[in-house]
Amino acid sequence: MEEYFRFAKELFDPAKAKNKPQPLKGIRVLDFTHFIYGPTCTGILARYGAEVIKIEEPGSGDMLRLGAWWGKYWKHTNPLSHSLHLNKYFVTINLKKPEGKELVYRLAEKADVAVENLAAGTAEAWGVGYTQLREVKPDIIYLSCSTYGQYGPLRFFPGWDLLAQAAAGTITITGYPGTDKYYKLPDYLGDFYPGTLGALVILIALYYRKKTGKGQYIDLAQVETMTRLLPHFTYFSITGQELERTGNIDPTMSPAFIHKTRDGKFVALAAGTDDQFKALCTAIGRNDLPAKYPTQLERLKPENAQELNRLTQEWVSQRNAREIVDLAKKHGFPAAEVVDDYQITHEEWRRERGSVETFYDEMYREFLLPGPQALLSKSPAKVNWLCRPVGYHNRYVLKGWLGLSDEEFEELEKKKVIGYWDDRPGAKPPIYYDITTDQMFNYQGDGGDKA
């Protein structure tokens, strides 16, 4: 087995990822998304090599740029923008002007995919919806991300992560039994999960197009996606009863819970098989329990589960977290400390596997990033650059890819069809960075492709 583990470590070594090809190279994506939901989708595609052209309004750009967590900016940027907008090309186009729409249509001719997460029907009203873009690119794959979908009685209702969690029924099963308090799932799961699924369905559509030559329209609704993530409503349809909230207990195995340790930390512990239960009993010095509760079914009887969780939680509360984890490794039952952000940032094994990586960017210097969602041995995800200021790639994309002349480009600038950042944190470069020497921003060649 040691030979296999050495093989796996060598195969997935993050240090070697930079020399491996990106699987989506050559796939072009028009990105009309904003905030978190849509950018999560296009960000995954960009990390695997897709050429994602993020189209923003001149001046402020994507409003997420200006909405940093609790007003905390990092080098004039919202840190979340760097995680969501890796490897993207940033172009400003004023869609209120006819010339702006014409630029989009010219870009669409060269694109494979378009993604938007505006209110239902907005992209269509602006002239950049599916029916308009398929006229110039019949085989385009177009994904609309919304809260309630592109049709139906709720299509115009606005929504955010919190609203999606509520309307999907997800929040119904959070909290502790016997209380009237519910909890929002942390961070923005109602954005991140549907956005991740969006990347998956685009790949499915690309495969379909490869087989048939046909593009298609995709309608992705946050609420429906979250409902399918936790199909607890099927339990009600069968039993007529609500699936009870379970707090910090896993109701499918026993003992299984999260509990506080003697040193003030928390440990998750779960004995999901008979062998794991026996190992746990050995660790706590209760070898009499396997005979009393020989099967998982027996241990899941409500009164038995309650007693086993009580006994084991008492044992956990009398020991330090490190001791419990060490005993779990020694005896063979699952246990893990509940880690915080500091531990995720500093634990060496995460750096070794690339689940956390420090990336050096020419504009922003060192930045800590979450690694890829999965490790691919032949075509891994990689980071090429972080988020860029509003309009940073205007010259590169419009001159290089569309072949605009200097005169055409300057005319678009004069008419305010295209533009750059305004003087606000999140939109502009860091104060120490000399943009006048940046070769990409000042791109003058004909180098992109004009295919």
DSSP 102-164: HHHHHHHHT-SEEEE-SSTTHHHHTT-SHHHHHHH-TT-EEEEEESS-SSSTTTT----HHHH
Instruction: Based on the fold, state whether residues 16 and 62 are members of the same structural domain.
Output: yes
Assess if residue 10 is contained within a domain: yes
| Cα–Cα distance list, 46 to 14, 190, 214, 311, 379 (Å) | 18, 21, 23, 49, 13
Assess if residue 345 is contained within a domain: no
pLDDT, position 448: 52
CA atoms lying within 13 Å on the CB side of residue 70? 0
pLDDT, position 69: 65
Assess if residue 220 is contained within a domain: yes
Instruction: Based on the fold, state whether residues 365 and 329 are members of the same structural domain.
Output: no
Nearest residue to 374 via CA among 359, 353, 360, 390: 353
Residue 108, number of CB atoms within 10 A of its CB: 21
Report the domain count for the chain: 2
Q: Pick the last residue of a domain from 309, 339, 369.
A: 339
Assess if residue 450 is contained within a domain: no
Q: Pick the last residue of a domain from 277, 306, 339.
A: 339
pLDDT, position 451: 41
Asked if residues 146 and 221 have their Cβ atoms less than 8 Å apart, the reply is yes
User: What pLDDT digit, counting tens, does each position of 235-282 carry?
Assistant: 778 888 877 888 899 988 999 999 999 999 999 999 999 999 999 999
Assess if residue 302 is contained within a domain: yes
Instruction: Based on the fold, state whether residues 78 and 133 are members of the same structural domain.
Output: yes
Mean pLDDT, 10 residues at a time, the chain of 451 residues: 94 91 96 96 98 96 83 88 96 97 98 96 96 98 95 85 84 86 86 95 98 98 88 79 85 95 97 96 96 95 96 97 97 96 93 93 96 92 96 97 95 97 93 96 72 41
Assess if residue 235 is contained within a domain: no
pLDDT, position 238: 83
Instruction: Based on the fold, state whether residues 386 and 308 are members of the same structural domain.
Output: no
CATH number at residue 139: 3.40.50.10540
Which residues, listed in sequence order, are joined to residue 51 by a DSSP beta bridge?
28
Assess if residue 242 is contained within a domain: no
Instruction: Based on the fold, state whether residues 313 and 179 are members of the same structural domain.
Output: no
The residue with tokens 């915080």 is 340
Instruction: Based on the fold, state whether residues 323 and 369 are members of the same structural domain.
Output: no
Quote the domain boundaries for residue 305.
256-339
CATH number at residue 312: 3.30.1540.10
Instruction: Based on the fold, state whether residues 314 and 372 are members of the same structural domain.
Output: no
Instruction: Based on the fold, state whether residues 224 and 271 are members of the same structural domain.
Output: no
Instruction: Based on the fold, state whether residues 377 and 432 are members of the same structural domain.
Output: yes
Instruction: Based on the fold, state whether residues 308 and 424 are members of the same structural domain.
Output: no
Instruction: Based on the fold, state whether residues 268 and 329 are members of the same structural domain.
Output: yes
- Secondary structure string (H, E, C) spanning the chain: CHHHHHHHHHHCCHHHHHHCCCCCCCCEEEEECCCCHHHHHHHHHHHCCCEEEEEECCECCCHHHHCCHHHCCECCECHHHHHHCCCCEEEECCCCCHHHHHHHHHHHHCCCEEEECCCCCHHHHCCCCHHHHHHHCCCCEEEEEECCCCCCCCCCCCCCHHHHHHHCCCHHHCCCCCCCCCCCCCCCHHHHHHHHHHHHHHHHHHHHHHHHCCCEEEEEEHHHHHHHHCCCHHHHHHHCCCCCCCCCECCCCCCEEEEECCCCCEEEEECCCHHHHHHHHHHHCCCCHHHHCCCHHHHCCHHHHHHHHHHHHHHHHCCCHHHHHHHHHHHCCCEEECCCHHHHHHCHHHHHHCCEEEEEECCCEEEEEECCCCCCCCCCCCCCCCCCCCCCCHHHHHHHHCCCCHHHHHHHHHCCCCCCECCCCCCCCCCCCCHHHCCCCCCCCCCCCCC
Assess if residue 448 is contained within a domain: no
Q: Look up residue 106 and give its amino acid.
A: R
Q: Pick the last residue of a domain from 285, 307, 339.
A: 339
Instruction: Based on the fold, state whether residues 224 and 323 are members of the same structural domain.
Output: no
> Rounded to an integer, what distance in angstroms lies between the CA atom of residue 169 and that of residue 189?
14
